[in-house]
Amino acid sequence: MKTSRDFLVLCNERVEARFDLKRGGRLAGLRDCLTGRVLTAQNGQRLVAGRESMDITRVGACKVVAVRQGKLHDFHLGPGLTASVRLRLILDGYTLDLERRIDLPDGAGAVRILDTWHARQPLAGTWYSELLTLRLPAGARCKVADWFSCSDQTNHRLITRPGKGRQRGLLFTAAVSGTGLFVWKEGPAPDSRPVKGDWDFEVTAKSLAVVGTGFNRAGPDGARRCDGVVVGVLEDEATLLG
């Protein structure tokens, strides 16, 4: 792990994740260490509350309050590297502290990003805030996978759709030239969420916006944790879902 005034870099033998501290802790690049290819970078992250929205990756939009780094000791993820970037910004006229946790397990070809909101005043209408917006590889074959409950079955059914426009789901893939990118949105399946949204992924020819914090209100009564996002190397498109 490397930290400078402008960048935070987490690296294992599989991927390198580089974060820009001058632009809201955005993912400035995810590089496949086996091929040397930079798979993606974050274009933006628009937060919404009330009638206001803002892109926190714009230069000067927020201030880095603290950066912490250490070893990951997680019963689920296993050992690895972890870091925390705390940001301060003004949203809908009120101060909001956003704490970004970044996890990179040993040997994993993916990085996990998880934001927590610490609002000093009540904020409403927050669900459609972006968790991140990523640049897509040119010519990628994009798909979205979703699970939903069936009235005639006891389990969930998997549906895969072409990745274009606004889509509900948990998994997005962009395959190109034998490799590619996957994005996993953590949290309950869309039809099982306590707070539901109309879409999770907004796909254009050049970008993917991951939308939906998992909550529609934040305030001084307690921190609100967003659904996490895992971004990684797509090694085998055909067998990713079993």
- pLDDT tens-digit readout, 13-24: 999 999 999 999
The mean pLDDT value for 179-192 works out to: 88
- In angstroms, the CA 1 to CA 69 distance is 8
Contact yes or no for 183/143 (Cβ under 8 A): no
Amino acid at 183: V
Encoding tokens for residue 35? 């091929």
**Cα–Cα distance, 94 to 96 (Å, whole number):** 6
Distance between CA atoms of 155 and 177, rounded to whole angstroms? Answer: 35
Token representation of residue 100: 């970004």
pLDDT at 29 over 80: yes
| CB 85, CB 99: distance < 8 Å | yes
Is 179 a residue whose pLDDT tops 70? yes
Q: What is the mean pLDDT of residues 88-92?
A: 92
- If you average pLDDT over residues 84-107, what whole number do you get? 94
**Summary mean pLDDT of the chain:** 91
153 pLDDT band, cuts 50/70/90, is: low
Instruction: Indicate if the pLDDT at residue 39 is higher than 60.
Output: yes
Rounded alpha-carbon distances, angstroms, from residue 155 to 149, 195, 200: 7, 21, 22
Given this model, what pLDDT does residue 103 score?
Answer: 97
pTM, two decimal places: 0.92
**Which of 107, 235, 118 has the alpha carbon at shortest distance from 181?**
235
pLDDT at 96: 95
pLDDT tops 50 at residue 242: no
| Per-position b or e across 203-230, b if 16+ CB within 10 A of its CB | beeeebbbbbbbbbbbeeeeebbbbbbb
Q: What are phi and psi of 22, to 5 degrees?
A: -85, -10
Give the CA angle between residues 123, 229, 15 to the nearest 5°.
140
- For residue range 196-223, list pLDDT tens digits in order: 889 999 999 999 999 999 999 999 999 9
Least confident of 2-6, 26-30, 149-153, 209-213: 149-153
- What is the pLDDT, as a whole number, of residue 84? 96
Q: Which position has the token pair 């909001």? A: 96
Answer yes or no: is pLDDT of 240 > 70. no
